[in-house]
Amino acid sequence: MLRDDIEELIASVDDRSTTLMFTNGLGYTAQRAQACQQAGLFYSAVSIDSPYPDEHNRVRRNPEAFDHAIDATSSRRC
């Protein structure tokens, strides 16, 4: 995740709004997901550009991008 303060940003949203987050999965650990949920995150989505790991990694220009995305979808993080 690019922002170290994402939990603070989520917490700053008041109850008149719903907080959604879209991510490529990089850095979205179980601990980070739990912290975001506790801060008030309602929904998160992980972008998958292809069901084929090689194609997804090529599009993302990262040889580990597919693994990061799949890992982020496990353990009820989304």
According to the model, what pLDDT value does residue 74 have? 82
Q: CA–CA separation, 39 vs 3, rounded Å?
A: 15
The predicted structure's pLDDT at residue 75: 58
CA 74, CA 9: separation in Å to the nearest integer? 24
The one-letter amino acid at 25: G
Which residue in the block uniquely carries the two structure tokens 């939990």?
Answer: 7
Residue-by-residue pLDDT tens, the chain, 78 positions: 888 999 999 999 998 999 999 999 999 998 999 999 999 999 999 999 999 999 999 999 999 999 999 999 885 655
- Asked whether the beta carbons of 45 and 20 are under 8 A apart, the reply is yes
pTM for this predicted structure:
0.82
Distance of CA 3 to the CA centre of its chain: 11
> Domain-by-domain residue ranges, the chain?
20-73
